[in-house]
């Protein structure tokens, strides 16, 4: 089973895990680490590396972070120099659901690619969705 780590600012990762638990139930090999004001970057990095060792069962670990350029992402990049693992920026619920529901059936690289596609495709304007649905309903009437 592929392990999953969420490295974010504050408690975003932990809150995503709570939301996922509502949908999928409690998940194993899923951890969050949040960088808080005043935290040492070196300590954050050591804790992050420790989490990877803790949840890597041999199938790999997929990392997620909130956004590129932030300290969690920069720390993940430093960790990747010590131990390779794929990592995705811009974590969202659809990509996490994809990761958690498919992590036992495909490789970590395939999972990374699928999560990026699902995560990107899930970003929509609700106004456009409503307008497209209304247009389809109008076309179906004729």
Q: What is the dihedral of CA 119, 67, 107, 19, to 10 degrees?
A: -60
Please tell me the total number of residues recorded for the chain in this structure.
142
- Encode pLDDT of 33-83 as tens digits: 999 999 999 999 999 999 999 999 999 999 999 999 999 999 999 999 999
Output the six-digit token pair for 142.
């004729």
Q: What is the DSSP letter of 105?
A: T
- pTM, to two decimals: 0.93
Q: Which CATH superfamily is domain 3-141 in?
A: Phosphotransferase system, mannose-type IIA component (3.40.50.510)
Cβ pair 45, 83 in contact under 8 A: no
Contacts of 104 (CB under 8 A, 6+ apart): 1, 2
């Amino acid at each position: 089973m592929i392990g999953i780590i969420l490295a974010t600012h504050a408690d975003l990762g932990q809150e995503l895990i709570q939301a996922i638990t509502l949908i999928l139930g409690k998940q194993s090999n899923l951890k969050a680490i949040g960088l808080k004001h005043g935290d040492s970057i070196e300590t954050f990095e050591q804790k992050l590396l420790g989490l990877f060792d803790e949840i890597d069962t041999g199938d790999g670990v997929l990392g997620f972070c909130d956004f590129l350029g932030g300290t969690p992402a920069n720390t993940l990049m430093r960790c990747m120099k010590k131990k390779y693992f794929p990592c995705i920026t811009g974590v969202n619920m659809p990509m996490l659901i994809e990761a958690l529901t498919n992590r036992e059936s495909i490789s970590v690289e395939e999972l990374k690619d699928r999560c990026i596609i699902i995560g990107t495709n899930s970003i929509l304007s609700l106004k456009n969705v409503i307008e497209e649905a209304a247009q389809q309903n109008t076309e179906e009437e004729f």
